[in-house]
Amino acid sequence: MAFPPQLALATKNPGKVREILRICAGWPVRWLVYEDDDPRWPDVEETGGTYLANALLKARRVAEALGAPALADDSGIEVDALGGAPGPRSARFAGERASDEDNLRLLIERIRGVPAERRTARYRCVAACAWPAGPQSWSEGACEGLLVPEPRGTGGFGYDPIFVPVAQDGGAGRTMAELAPGEKDRISHRGSALRALGEALSGEPVSGRG
């Protein structure tokens, strides 16, 4: 396995595009990124029951549509007090057409009565790369944290305003949305998964390689 000359990002989410390009800035590839109304990028329904299934589904569909290797990730938040929900359905927690704000508002409602010490949660991410009708590789990352009932911060996206990572290098108590981009990338689930995938693509053995 090796880095391809060009690599498509199998997402239309601008927040994900920014983070992935930032985390993978050192990858020796030319990036193909979705632009408004580009008909080449398919709308992929995430029908898989796991992060891996959804990540591979998106990567394969975009790779086939563009005729180029594609990178996708699927991620979610797992709340222990909710039995691990919403998990792979994090982007659709409040419904199939829910916005980030809708999902965040619903999760806040669900945890508001949970004692602070029981609001443990983790972000999990699987990053996958697929070639058109060819090989595939993937890696997983996670970030443990605690949830707060009041959103804080303007950075990041998704559930970041209420997720306080426990692996911070100082500044304990800040949410993901309050961290500088570089701070977030060093400890985030997406940063961990993509760095491991980069190692896999560079030819170094890594856990989770497919």
Catalogue the active-site residues. 74
Radius of gyration of the chain (CA): 17
| β-sheet with 70-79: strand ranges across | 30-32, 6-9, 70-79, 120-130, 136-147, 163-165
Distance CA 146, CA 133 (A): 41
Strand locations in 95-206 (E)? 120-130, 136-147, 163-165
- Compute, in degrees rounded to 10, the torsion defined by CA atoms 103, 105, 110, 116: 110
Cβ atoms within 10 Å, residue 104: 20
CB 19 within 8 A of CB 9: no
